[in-house]
Amino acid sequence: MTTVDPANLSIIHYPDPILRTRCEPLPEVTDEVRTVARRMIEIMLQAPGLGLAAPQVGLPWRLFVCHVPLDPADKDSRLDTDPASPLLTATPEPTVYINPVLSAPLNPVESESEGCLSLPDITGDIPRPRAITIEALDLAGSPFRQTATGLLARCWQHEADHLDGVLILDRMSSLSRLRVRSAVRSLEKAAGVR
């Protein structure tokens, strides 16, 4: 792992090749990893966004941050699991997920509009399982497991896709892809690809 200056981190935009990189697991949670993760939270909140993956700031690490705040208007929004309702819908504060693994997708699959900080001004309908389980390490290097539904589950899946080099462009419906084609070409042209 190379040394990273967190002050130099910024959001990387499509079509930068790092966004197509399958990221490597972090062998350990070091002070550097913790510092980078905290800086990623700052960048995510300033953007503003709900999640940010390491490749979006130029790092090929299996790490992302996420914050889906509790929605007081949503009576089903909950932070803590309980026996009657084991699915999370929000995070109490920005959360770091190191070496995350998603499992147990629950049907139905639902299509919702998603955007991405690395694809400014581009949104599209993305089909994803309604609920998912995540296992990851926290900033102390301790493993944890959670299950979420709704926007939080969608955020986890979106950010985990980044760790495998998958973008929302790859998951969009054909109609959404057609609708954003000129915006994608503009990003490519600005980067000197077209």
Q: Catalytic site residues?
A: 159
Measured distance CA(93)–CA(187) in Å, rounded: 32
Cross-strand partners of 102? 134
Going by C-alpha positions, the residue among 73, 75, 57 that lies closest to residue 65 is: 57
Q: Which residues of 81-112 are buried (b: 16+ CB within 10 A; e: fewer)?
A: eeeeeebbbbbeebbbbbbbebeeeeeeeeee
Tokens of 139: 């900033």
